[in-house]
Amino acid sequence: MKKIKIYLYIFLFSLIFTIFLFELYAKYRTDLFPSYGWQKNNTIKDNIIICDNKKNIGVFGDSFVEYFGKDNNNLVRILDSKFRNYKVCNFGFSGDSIHNYIARFLYVLKSHVKLEKAIFYLYEGNDFYEFRYTNDLKNIENLEIKGETIFNYSEQTYFDRNLSFTKNFIKSTFTLNLIYRELYKKYFTSNRVTKEFVQKIYTEDKYYEVKLDKAIERMNNTPKDVKKLLSADILNINFYSLALRNPNYFNEIYNPEEDKFEIQKIIASKYVKFINKTCINNEIECKFIIIPSDQFLFEEAKNKYQNLFRFNFQKEYGKSKISNFLLTNFDNIYYPESLFIYEDFINNDMHLNANGNKKLATFTYEKF
């Protein structure tokens, strides 16, 4: 019995030591596990507390801004190392839209934080989507999405992330993330991608391009190995959900019909003009950076979105129509032309990896 206890102690000690070493290694090599360990609590109030310099730069955007969290590969952390005389503050939030970037911006302005500069990162892949929700060119001002008027700006409509203690702990550790996703969810949980999964999508207040039966058919035609990766959250299930209900999504946002493009231009212009006016009123130097969608740049990405996420094939290359329009009409909007290669994006994902973030940070810094 005594020997068993000794062996048990040795085993537990070895296990704890191995986990400790793996955590150190994973934190050092976050490029190997980019989606692990960063999606913790994210509240605007906590971000404001640490934005305490006399000279601050606020950065707003979605998961491209939040990705990698507090790791040195995070876009804002890289920017902070370049702007030597400023504190660069991360107000990014995964899943946000321009409407919510504005809400966070207004909230920061109402706080004690003094911003001298602000950077807004606009993702070409999903920040110019609202035009699909209406055909009413004359009533765009009152356009509602998910019960909210998109031009009704308020500092109170921002999103926060407050996870439970257990979920926050699991998401913040590389080891438990690896065990939970790659082992438990992959091999010991049931397939989430089912008929019921698709039906639930169609109960939500979203834009639908195809009828429910066609979405179910597309789901049924998804390879089993892809469904397993989606169910384990190894592949982005939100992008897959989008492909089921809007398989032609990338063709729509890249090159919309002229009547739809008019609506897209008006919505994007109203967002930019409001931000610019707010910046002028508060004496803040503001710039916008459009982050290209890899879908519009690389053949490998087109195949990824078609084969893994099940979107219809989108054949054109280069800047989207809305990107070209914004670059032509606003002198503080920039697009990193020919900056990235396919390897600058995370494998089977749409986000930039550490090397891509370094390139984007350098491009941004040079614009100031």
Residues 6+ away with beta carbon under 8 Å from 354: 30, 31, 34, 68, 73
**Domains of the chain, residue spans:** 44-162+249-367
Please identify which residue in the block is written with the tokens 């979605």: 62
Residue 229: how many other CB atoms lie within 10 Å: 21
Q: Contacts for 220-223 with beta carbons within 8 Å, 24 or more apart?
A: 221/310, 222/193, 222/310
Q: Which residues pair with 289 in a beta bridge?
A: 121, 334
Alpha-carbon span 302 to 316, nearest angstrom: 10
Reply yes or no on domain 44-162+249-367 having CATH 3.30.1330.20. Answer: no
Residues 6+ away with beta carbon under 8 Å from 111: 48
Q: Give this prediction's pTM.
A: 0.90
| Secondary structure of residue 22 in the 3-state scheme | helix
Query: What tokens were used for 348?
Result: 């089977």
Alpha-carbon span 120 to 104, nearest angstrom: 11
CB 340 within 8 A of CB 356: yes
Q: Which residues pair with 285 in a beta bridge?
A: 117
Query: What tokens were used for 152?
Result: 């009704």
Predicted confidence at residue 1, as pLDDT, reads 67
Identity of the residue numbered 211 = K
Strand locations in the chain, DSSP E?
A: 56-60, 87-90, 115-123, 144-145, 148-149, 285-291, 333-334
DSSP letter at 161 equals B
Please identify which residue in the block is written with the tokens 């384990």: 232
Predicted confidence at residue 37, as pLDDT, reads 67
pLDDT tens across the length of the chain (368 residues): 677 777 777 777 777 777 778 777 777 776 677 777 677 888 889 899 989 888 999 999 999 999 988 888 999 999 999 998 899 999 999 887 999 999 999 999 999 888 999 999 999 999 999 999 988 888 888 888 877 888 999 888 888 888 787 777 767 777 777 777 777 777 777 788 999 999 999 998 778 899 999 999 999 999 999 999 899 888 889 899 999 999 999 999 999 999 999 999 999 999 999 999 999 999 999 999 999 999 999 999 999 999 999 999 999 999 999 999 999 999 999 999 999 999 999 988 999 999 999 999 999 999 99
Query: What tokens were used for 256?
Result: 């919309």
Predicted confidence at residue 167, as pLDDT, reads 74
| Secondary structure of residue 180 in the 3-state scheme | helix
